[in-house]
Every structure is written in structure tokens, then in C-alpha cells.
Amino acid sequence: MTPNVDTAEPVAASASPAPVSMRLTGIVQEYPRADGAGAVRVVDGIDLEFARPSINMLLGPSGCGKSTVLRMMGGVRPFGVKTPTTGRIEIDGRPCEGAHDDVVMVFQRYANRPDLTVHDNVAFPFRFRLWKKQISASMVEQRVKEMLEMVGLGGKANLRPAQLSGGQNQRVALARALVLRPRILLMDEPFGALDAQTREEMQQQLVSLWEQQQCLIVFVTHDITEALLLGDRVILLSNPPAKVTDDFTITERRPRSALWLRSTEAQQLEERLLRQLHAGAKRGQVRVTV
């Protein structure tokens, strides 16, 4: 990831977001069968284009291939398997064939180091040479402090992950990603393991953070309600082998309320998604949060 220029002032919340684009063309992914008899196709001809900073929800039943597609976007390539099998991924018009400097990923397992404080977990990426050479120590401190305040952990900088709740630990992971000011943020069901109240708080937190630091987010979920609450765009994948079966935008401004979820528009979108999911094979699960 190419770091922002080291300046004395933070990026203003009202600043225009940097342009960014990502395109997937003809993506097919196959994995060899364990018995050596051929291959299993898990992704079957996906074409997608993202042309601006926005929140894009990649929705589908569990096990349908959402995470596989997301990892491809981030340049994650499993050892010994050609990924993708066929097709092409481009970021800003250039092939993405490995880990990409402009992409940061956040997972359901927040992977905070237990031996480091909250502050040091958020600052951890700056230990790597790419960032260490281009971001001064004073700017690192400024960014980390600002980010901890933004996620509501300013008073917990010296605590360890074991002293935090699950939601607070996920805030640390989110802060560690956003402190890099990524142009593309990939999120793999980051709130899936949280209880309902904490999940709602984290959804609201993400919307607030995105308003202040806009980037291109692709967010994997199997929760229809979460997709409708957060997304500028919802992309529905079928049961495997995964194909795009729906792709639409939502014009309602965020934050979206429980009242909007009961509106005719939201109910029609939910029914549209459920209808297509039910029309597919009876595999995997989706969730509607109540």
C-alpha cells in the first residue's frame, strides 16, 4: 500500500476521497478434488466493477464462495492453487496478481496481539519497512491517537486485548486497518461473531468512520438486514458454484433506521433477496436480523 504523504495535518473529514477502481472479469475458481479426480468449481464466471469510494455488500449463503472472491480482490493466493483459475482482477486498471499495496483486509477473527497494548496493536503496521520509511514517528503517534478517539478507545490505549470486550477488540482491528488510510478495505464478516447489540453498535461505528475517511469497502455478509443497513450497493451470490444473481443500489441515506427497515422499500428489497435465495439450491444459510 502506498502511504499518504506525511504531513503535519490529518486528512480532513470533508476532503474529497481519492478516486479508486476495481474490476473483476470472468472470474472462475476451481480447486482439485481430494481424490485427484478432476476439480470442484466454487466460483463460476463473476464480473463486477467498483468505480468509486462506497460501501458494497457481498451477500450470499454461508459457504457460497464470498470469502474466496474477497480474498482474490486482496491478492491472497493460496499456495499451490492457480487463483483465479481463469479471469482477471484489476485495480486502477492494472492487474492484481498478488498482495496489493492499496488493499487492507479485516476478518471476523480480529487477530490482535495479546502481548501488545491497544495503542501498539493499532500502531503495529508501522513497524513494517514500507511504512516505517515514509511515515515519521510523530505522525504515527498522531494517526494512532486520532484513530483510537474515532473508535471510542482513547481511554483504553494502555490496556491489553484480554481486558477488552469482543466489540472493543473488533474496534482495535478496525482502527489498525483504517490508520493506514487504505483506498480499498475488504471486510470478511467482521461483525459475525458479535452479539446483536454489539453488532449494531459496530455497524453504526463503521458508517461514522466511513463518512470521515471514505474508501472503497467490500463487505462480506450472510445477513440480509446488515446488507440493507450498510450498503450503497448489494451484490447477491448464488449457492456454489457462485454466480452474481442480483446487483442493486440503495439510495436511502445512511445511517438507516429501524423505521426505514420497516418501510415498503426495504421490505421489497428483503423479499427480492429472499425470493432469489429460496429459488436456489437448499444449501447454506442467510440471516435476517430482527
Which structural domains are found in the chain, ordered by start? 19-102+184-290 (3.40.50.300), 110-181 (no CATH)
pLDDT at 282: 54
Nearby residues of 84 by Cβ (< 8 Å), 6 or more positions away: 27, 28, 29, 43, 72
Helices within 191-236 (DSSP H only): 196-212, 224-230
pLDDT at 110: 81
The residue length of the chain stands at 290
Full-model pTM: 0.88
Nearby residues of 149 by Cβ (< 8 Å), 6 or more positions away: none
pLDDT at 2: 43
pLDDT at 13: 42
pLDDT at 37: 85
CB 170, CB 194: distance < 8 Å: yes
At 223, list the grid cell: 445477513
Given the DSSP bridges, would you call strands 184-188 and 103-107 parallel, antiparallel or unpaired?
A: parallel
Mean pLDDT of each 10-residue bin along the chain, 290 residues long:
40 57 96 88 96 96 91 87 94 88 86 95 86 78 95 96 94 94 94 90 94 96 96 96 96 95 97 89 59
pLDDT at 79: 82
